[in-house]
Amino acid sequence: MKKSSSQLSKSEEAGFRNDGYLLLKAAVPKKEVGLLLKEVNRLVLRATEADAVLREPYYHAGSFKLTRILRMTSAFDDLIDHPGYFRKLVALFGPHVQLMGSEIFVRGAAERSITGFHTDLGPGMQNIRTRDDSSFLQIKAQIFLTDLSVPDASNFALIPGSHRMKVNQSNELSMIEEVNQMMGADGSLPSNAVQILAKPGDVLLFPHSLWHAVGPNRVGRTRYSITLRYGQLALRPFERFDSILADHERKFTQRQRRLLGDLGALGTSPYRPRHQEKIMGC
Ligand SMILES: O=C(O)CCC(=O)C(=O)O
C-alpha cells in the first residue's frame, strides 16, 4: 500500500539518518505561510520597537531572534503538530516526544556568514550522537517563510553527515572550530558545506548533533523563519508552556496539550504519561 505523504518514507528516513537532514518541500501550504509571515512581521516590529529581541553573541550584527513565541500569539498553534511534518517527527522520535522551544529567526544583510558552524543543546551534548538504528534525542523543525531559493540569501548551511562526526575543537558556544577555520575571508563556506535552497512553506528537519550555520545574505531581502524544537520527554525544555496551557481562550487539542507539557491529571511518572502512544497517533 502507498504511504501517505505525512508518513516518513523509507528513503526520507535513510536520508535523514545518513545526511542528518530532511527538507520537506511545500510542507506548509501557501495560504498558511502568508498568515504566519504577517504575524511574524507584526511581532518582530513590536519586539524591535521595544528592544526586546535576542542577539546571540555569535550572530552577525543584522540578525536576531525572538524566543518563546507561543506566548506572544495563538497564530502559531497549528504548527505544534502540523500535518506537514508531525508524523515524520514521531517516526524519528517514537511517541515520547515533547515541544521544547519556539523561536522566530530574522536574518538581515550580511557580507559574511551570519553564524559559524555549531551544534545544538550545549557542550554537554555535543559529542552525544545517535546510532544508525537509534531514535533521536532532539530535532528542530525550521519553517521557512521567505524565499531562499538561491545561495547567499542567509540560507541555512550544514555539513552533510556531520551529525555522526566527533567534534575535536570547540568552545563554550559549541562552535566547530575545525570547520569555522575554513570559512573564507570573502564569506565563502567550507567546500563540504551545503546551503539549503528553500521556498516559503518548505520545512527542514535536523538533529542537535548536525554541524550547521547560516550563510551570508547578499540578496537585499531579510529572511524570516520559525523554528520549533522537539525532543524526548526526558529532556529539559528550553521554555515552559504553563501560562499558555492555563489560558482558556486557547483551543488546544489533547495532543497539542501533551506536547506542551500537560501530562494529564492521573499523576504518573513524567517519563511514562498515560495513553502517550494513542495521543501521539501511534
Ligand atoms: O537558521 C537559522 O537562522 C539559525 C539556525 C541555527 O543556528 C540554529 O537553529 O541553531
| CA separation for the pair 225, 195 (Å, rounded) | 15
2: pLDDT strictly greater than 90: no
The three grid cell numbers given for residue 161, joined into one nine-digit string:
553527515
Q: Which residues line ligand 1 (CB under 6 A)?
A: 105, 107, 115, 120, 140, 142, 156, 212, 214, 227
pLDDT for 218: 96
Contact 43, 145 (CB under 8 A): no
Q: What is the pTM of this model?
A: 0.95
pLDDT for 208: 97
1: pLDDT strictly greater than 60: no
| CA separation for the pair 46, 62 (Å, rounded) | 17
Distances (CA, A) of 11 to 3, 104, 186, 222: 12, 30, 36, 33
The three grid cell numbers given for residue 171, joined into one nine-digit string:
568552545
d(CA 248, ligand 1 centre) in Å: 32
Which segments of the chain does DSSP mark as H helices, in order? Answer: 10-19, 30-49, 86-93, 123-126, 177-180, 242-245, 254-259, 276-280
Atom in ligand 1 nearest the alpha carbon of residue 105: 3
Mutate to test the pocket of ligand 1, among 155, 214, 226 (most ligand atoms within 8 A of CB): 214
H/E stretch holding 49? helix 30-49
- Confidence bin at 232 (pLDDT 50/70/90): very high
- Name the residue at shortest CA distance from atom 1 of ligand 1: 156
Contact 39, 116 (CB under 8 A): no
The three grid cell numbers given for residue 145, joined into one nine-digit string:
517563510
- Mean pLDDT (whole number) for 135-150: 98
* Strands, sheet with 194-195, edge to edge from the N-terminal-most edge strand: 115-118, 212-214, 156-158, 194-195
| Residue 137: other Cβ atoms inside 10 A | 19
pLDDT for 267: 65
| CA separation for the pair 214, 116 (Å, rounded) | 7
Average pLDDT over the chain, rounded to whole? 94
d(CA 216, ligand 1 centre) in Å: 13
- Name the residue at shortest CA distance from atom 4 of ligand 1: 214
- Mean pLDDT (whole number) for 38-55: 90
Atom in ligand 1 nearest the alpha carbon of residue 142: 1
- Confidence bin at 265 (pLDDT 50/70/90): confident
Q: Report the percentage of the chain scoring pLDDT > 70.
A: 98
| CA separation for the pair 62, 118 (Å, rounded) | 19
- Name the residue at shortest CA distance from atom 10 of ligand 1: 120
| CA separation for the pair 201, 189 (Å, rounded) | 25
